[in-house]
Amino acid sequence: MKQYSAENIRNVAIVGHGGSGKTMLVEHMLYTAGAADRVGSVDAGNTQSDFDPLEIRRKISLNASVLPLEWHGVKVNLIDAPGYPDFIGDLHGIARVVEAMIIVTEAKADLDVGFEIAWDIAEEHGLAKCIFVNKLERDNADYEGLMNTLHERYGHKVVGVQIPIGHQAAFSGVLDLLNMKVYKGRDRGEEIEDVPTGYRSEAEERREKMMDAAAEGDDDLAMKYLEGEQLTEEEIEHGLLVGVETGKVVPVLLGSAASGIGVATLLDRIIHELPSPIDMPKVIDGKEILADPNGPLAGFVFKTTADPFVGKINFVRMFSGSLKVDDHVLNVNREKDERVHNLFYPHGKGQEGASVVPAGDICAIAKLQDTHTGDTLTSNKDRIMLPQIEFPEPIYRIAVVPLTKADEDKLGMAIQRLMEEDPTFRHTRDSIAHQEILEGMGDIHLDTIIEKMKAKFGVNVKIEEPRVPYRETVRGAAKAQGRHKRQTGGKGQFGDCWVEVEPLNRGTGFQFENKVVGGAIPKNFIPAIEKGIREAADHGLVAGFPVVDFKVTVVDGSYHDVDSSEQAFKIAGAMALKAASEKAQAVILEPLLGVEVDVPDECVGDVVGDLNGRRGRMEGMEPTTPGRTRIRATVPMATMMRYALDLRSITKGRGRFRQTVDHYEEVPHPEQQSLIAEYAKQKAAHEAEH
């Protein structure tokens, strides 16, 4: 592929809710521009962007795909982003490397959660936005209802620049208000006609509104317009470009991703009204990084894929300088020198070799040794570091168990490779519960992780419920004896100690003190007593959970010159703790989470009621953005295992939350008795087996 200067490049994300038609829109854009010789189908599983076997089977986008095309001498790097909230991580990475987002939505009055998420992320990153209204040919299409909703939600910066010709099944084209022409037909067979008589009055009225918006984008145009002069087509286009760049204007375009109607005009608008890398330079610490091919080297890794055969592939946006094959570059985040051997332009699952990639463009590099998503590639001389991507924290957890020893051996490597590919996927090992914990953005996200483990790395696992990390402690102080005496004919075993047990403040842990005087227990046996107490505490006092926040003081005891040993005193220490716990009122503690839930105002009552039903304590609430409220609560972890799924159901996907372990508290008596009974049942079953 030939090189393009930065002013002739557009980096554009195609975003929106799952099922809104993004992938089919991209298919028609590629075909219309001649970058593909056919239009693929999601149902047939032969689209350019959804090429992963899991995407083909599920018929949804799971990964972002980079798909370049050329339109009238301008290179457009389309990035097709997954629409389901479970895969929001890709959207955060993409937002760092594009100048504009085209938000695709169905022609209906209510906005989907994927639209709202994409809008919020575009706003957060200061990106230019354009809306493409899809599925106008559907029986229930409601273009006017959608425009009313958009104006209510986002104000009159949302500007219609086209009018649909025909309604629902009769939809046949779009009337473009810029040049007052009607575009009918589809893809490469588009026909251009004059405005029908019945549409002229409406078109002129709406063109005035578009001109108002264009004039607001540029002070000189505003002055001319206020003086009563009409703006030319070129002036309107310039005003819209400036307005879109600054966020003052969000144009609304129309069409059908199924048939290709409106696709050519969309491509025209991309190259004329969406900003290039030159128009929106990256600003770091108040300093602009210009898209200069001869400038300092700065490439940003926004996505990584893991392949068991090819290895890692890093997708890179060049912000400054030029990257060449065989260059030595510095990964400034890891202070690691890397050699660029395999440089290419990605095209969905395909690729085209590149010898040099200039500023403003997007490329991919295979087989870098230690480079990951969020890293900056620069030179030792320049040492530019771009801010890393802020990914959302995981909100859903499962535990997995390898099915065989071979699966167990491969599990760690598979998890590591998948975490490199997906920074919203996390893994921890619960050493106390002996569980491998996987964390992600939802059930579909973790389902696909498990499917990838099997498909890519041959690892089979079964899913378990994560165990709540309960703890135990003591409420009061007590003194007890641990005496271990056994005579077996030869040398016996003898260990005897008195201990005092007392509670400590939450989070203190375990403290041990020796107050034995007069040699009642030789000093060399004291560490054995402590070891016995620690091991007994790890196994729990009432329900098998580790004991925390308590102090044990050894105060007295006795020994035998011949029969005493470290092992005997270790057993005596464990016996003493067990005996003391019965008097010291051993209790179970549970982790409580600090939870912040951000929801639409109309869902506040239902969400608060649900949290109360989970034994949650409300800590307060405050408005965030217009129409949304943040609820703060403290909730037991045991009741929150499926909260991500339940909140999605309550709020129709519009609720967002985050949680952190806040502190431990005593479990209420009924739940405590249930945990003790369950432990006794498991213990009895284990003893019966052995």
Give 661-689 pLDDT, tens digit per residue: 999 999 999 999 999 999 999 888 888 87
Instruction: Provide the whole-model pTM.
Output: 0.86
CB 48 within 8 A of CB 36: yes
Q: Rounded to an integer, what distance in angstroms lies between the CA atom of residue 306 and that of residue 366?
A: 10
List phi, psi (to 5°) of 322. Answer: -135, 135
Measured from the Cβ of residue 510, the count of other Cβ atoms closer than 10 Å reads 16
Residues 52 and 88 in one domain: yes
| Sheet with 426-430: strands ordered across | 426-430, 435-440, 396-402, 461-464
The answer, yes or no, to whether residue 41 has pLDDT greater than 80, is: no
Give the single-character DSSP code of 547.
Answer: B
What is the percent of the chain with per-residue pLDDT over 90, rounded to a whole number?
A: 69
Q: Rounded to an integer, what distance in angstroms lies between the CA atom of residue 499 and that of residue 513?
A: 10
Give the end of a domain, one of 464, 489, 506. Answer: 464
pLDDT-derived band at 43, boundaries 50, 70, 90: low
Q: Rounded to an integer, what distance in angstroms lies between the CA atom of residue 590 and that of residue 193?
A: 71
Q: Is residue 163 included in any domain, yes or no?
A: yes
List phi, psi (to 5°) of 611. Answer: -65, -40
Q: Which region among 3-12, 15-24, 320-329, 546-555 has the lowest average model confidence (pLDDT)?
A: 15-24
For residue 492, the model assigns a pLDDT of 85
* DSSP string of 137-177, one letter each residue: TSTT--HHHHHHHHHHHHGGGEEE-EEEES-GGG--EEEET
Q: Rounded to an integer, what distance in angstroms lies between the CA atom of residue 458 and that of residue 409?
A: 11
In sequence order, the 6+-apart residues with CB closer than 8 A to the CB of 200 are none
Residues 302 and 411 in one domain: no
Q: Is residue 218 included in any domain, yes or no?
A: no
Residues 124 and 264 in one domain: yes
User: Domain limits at 436?
Assistant: 396-464
Residues 454 and 484 in one domain: no
Mean pLDDT of the 409-426 span: 93
For residue 412, the model assigns a pLDDT of 93
Give the end of a domain, one of 584, 602, 628. Answer: 584
The answer, yes or no, to whether residue 605 has pLDDT greater than 80, is: yes
Q: 386-396 pLDDT, tens per residue?
A: 999 999 889 89
Q: Rounded to an integer, what distance in angstroms lies between the CA atom of residue 131 and that of residue 17?
A: 12
What is the total count of domains within the chain?
5
Q: Rounded to an integer, what distance in angstroms lies between the CA atom of residue 65 and that of residue 305?
A: 11
For residue 164, the model assigns a pLDDT of 93
Residues 460 and 479 in one domain: no
For residue 489, the model assigns a pLDDT of 66
Residues 25 and 149 in one domain: yes
For residue 87, the model assigns a pLDDT of 86
The answer, yes or no, to whether residue 217 has pLDDT greater than 70, is: yes
For residue 61, the model assigns a pLDDT of 66
Q: Is residue 202 included in any domain, yes or no?
A: no
Q: Rounded to an integer, what distance in angstroms lies between the CA atom of residue 193 and that of residue 188?
A: 15
Q: Rounded to an integer, what distance in angstroms lies between the CA atom of residue 382 and that of residue 287?
A: 14
The answer, yes or no, to whether residue 463 has pLDDT greater than 70, is: yes
**Dihedral sign for Cα atoms in the order 453, 455, 460, 465:** positive
Q: Rounded to an integer, what distance in angstroms lies between the CA atom of residue 317 and that of residue 476?
A: 62
Count Cα neighbours of 154 within 13 Å in the Cβ-side half-sphere.
Answer: 22
For residue 187, the model assigns a pLDDT of 72
Q: 617-661 pLDDT, tens per residue?
A: 999 999 988 889 999 999 999 999 999 999 999 998 889 999 999
- What CATH number is attached to the domain comprising 403? 3.30.70.870
Residues 164 and 276 in one domain: yes
Residues 410 and 482 in one domain: no
Give the end of a domain, one of 321, 351, 378. Answer: 378
Residues 161 and 92 in one domain: yes
Q: Is residue 391 included in any domain, yes or no?
A: no
Mean pLDDT of the 126-142 span: 94
Q: Is residue 198 included in any domain, yes or no?
A: no
What are the residues facing 621 on neighbouring strands? 631
Residues 57 and 98 in one domain: yes
Mean pLDDT of the 93-107 span: 96
